A and B are shown apart, each in its own frame.
Chain A
Amino acid sequence: MTKAEIVENISSKTGLTKKEVAEAVDKFLDCIAKGLAEGKHYEIRGFGTFKVKARKSRMARNPRTGDAVPVPDRKVPVFKVSRELKELVAQS
């Protein structure tokens, strides 16, 4: 499924134009992305939570040469799936 298909579906269900829906969908993703960058987290009941996790620096290896390379501290976006969604998918 792509964003275009989601927009199409929402537009047909609401009667809003595809342009309006596309803008709202883009803003939805933008808001979450920007919020995460600011360290906010978003909890969407029944779906899951978007948040940022800190990963510690570690030593890794270049798989081609075998050289040790340091991986610095970093922040990564994660999505924690809600229990409801897990159950729904597991049953399918």
Chain B
Amino acid sequence: MTKADLVEEISKETGLSKKDTSIVVNLIIENLIKALAEGDKVELRGFGSFKVKSRKSRKARNPRTGTAVEVPAKLVPYFKASNELKALVNT
């Protein structure tokens, strides 16, 4: 399923035009991305939450050459599914 399929489904259920639905869907995603890029977390009750975790720097190896490389500390976005969503999927 792509964003277009999602827009189609939502439009059918809400009665909003596909054009408006598409604008809303794009804005939802834009808001989520912006919050994460600012290091903010987004909690969507009953669905899950999007957060940013910090990863410490670590030493890794280039698998081809075997040379040690330093992987710098970085921030990574992740999604934690709510218990409701987990239960719904696992049926």
Interface residues of A (CB under 8 A from B): 1-3, 6, 9-10, 13-14, 16, 20-21, 23-25, 27-29, 31-37, 40-48, 52, 74-79, 81, 85-86, 88-90, 92
Contact = CB atoms under 8 A, between A and B. Distances in A.
A76 B74 contact: no
A90 B33 contact: no
Nearest to B29: A47
Given A9-B31, A10-B28, A33-B47, A1 B89 contact: no
Name the residue in B5, B28, B33 with the highest tally of chain A Cβ atoms < 10 Å from its Cβ.
Answer: B28
Which size bracket describes the interface of B in this complex? 35 or more
B9 A1 contact: no
B78 A81 contact: yes
B37 A92 contact: yes
Given A21-B24, A27-B10, A6 B31 contact: yes
B60 interface: no
A92 B75 contact: yes
A74 B88 CA distance: 11
Given A3-B44, A14-B23, A25 B28 contact: yes
Contacts of A27: 9-10, 13-14
